[in-house]
Structure 1
Amino acid sequence: MRIGWIIGALACTAASGLAAQDTRGISRAVYVERIATAPGGESVRTIEPARALRRGDTVVLVVEWRGTSRGEPVIVSSAVPRPLAFQQASSDAVEVSVDGGRNWGRIGAMRVDDRDGRRLASPEDVTHLRWRSATGATRLTYSAIVR
């Protein structure tokens, strides 16, 4: 039952967790990484559409959009679904938020408060991602672990 809830949450977040300024279309997809052992004993990594997820699975989320035809920069933001722990993005230009989208910066500069006091934020603390791009089509991917 929990797996169905996670996939449902991912689909809802992917469908509604994106905000953009005047884009010509946003698409998103969720994939799961699977590692199998080939007949020769070597590990084979595959990425397949997410249909069933388990705690500990690595997922890859793909966000694509097309900028405006007027040549203005576009800002796209996306919430990281709560059942996922962000790991890394495909671009160093991504900005992150660790407080629900109120403040933005780089992962190495953000701080969070926890029961032990104030500390440097880790990737798992990321709640939102934000990208800036010029015109044309843009694709960004990020990976996360199912909590």
Structure 2
Amino acid sequence: MNRNILASAAALALGLALAGPAMAAEPVSLKGDVQVEKTVTENGATKTVLAPPTTVVPGDRLLFTTRYSNDGDKPVDNFVVTNPLPAPVRLAADEGGYDVSVDGGKSFGKLATLTVADTAGARRAAQPEDVTHIRWTLAHLAPHAAGALEYHAVVR
């Protein structure tokens, strides 16, 4: 099944999400990227490589990356980067290092501490497939500092 539109939409959604108010309020620039993780075998050795998402199918593993840079001459403290997960993907696993939301970005916490309502209305522990947003808080960005934030997702 060809999912070129899905890949483009996922990359676009990430890019649009990153172009929000954070860029206007701070001298921090953000750039999003998404790649497909492919397992290949060469000369009997198996390895994982990253490729552009020209075609994705359910079950494909994706790597979302947000590169950041403090383009200003002053430090920036407590800079928050929030990425909505595109609807056609689910979080691959809780890799830590970030907070997540399971309610559309209204509240955030560690996945292990969050709950969601099941189909009967009872509360259950939140799972990676319940995550709607990921959020990182960068405590201190020195002038001209740069880095990258990553998370893995799986095409639904």
- TM-score of the two chains, using structure 1 as the length reference: 0.88
The answer as to 2:68 corresponding to 1:59 is no
Q: Which consecutive residues of structure 2, in runs of 5 or more, have no partner in the other structure?
A: none
Distance 1:137 1:74, change over 3 A: same
**Deviation of residue 51 (structure 1)?**
1.7
Q: Which residue of 1 aligns with 2:152?
A: 143
Of residues 98, 107, 111, the one that matches 1:107 is 111
Richer in helix (by share): 2
C-alpha displacement of 1:76: 0.8
Unaligned runs of 5+ in 1: none
The CA RMSD over aligned residues, in Å, is 1.9
Q: Which residue number in structure 2 is paired with residue 81 of structure 1?
A: 86
Q: Which moved more, 1:18-27 or 1:76-85?
A: 18-27
Identity %: 29
The correspondence for 1:25, drawn from 29, 32, 56, is 29
- Which whole-Å CA distance do the structure 2 matches of 1:12 and 1:97 have between them? 21
Letter in 2 for 1:66: S
**Alpha-carbon spacing, 1:39–1:138, altered in 2? closer, same or farther (3 Å):** closer
Superposition deviation, residue 89 in structure 1:
6.2
C-alpha displacement at 1:49, in angstroms?
Answer: 2.1
Question: 1:107 is matched by which residue type in structure 2?
Answer: L
Q: Judging changes above 3 Å, is the alpha-carbon distance between structure 1 residues 11 and 71 closer, same or farther for their aligned structure 2 residues?
A: closer
Task: Give the whole-Å Cα distance in 2 for the aligned partners of 1:88 and 1:23.
Answer: 32
* Superposition deviation, residue 56 in structure 1: 0.7
Question: Secondary structure, in 3 states, of the residue corresponding to 1:25?
Answer: strand
> Aligned pairs, how many?
145
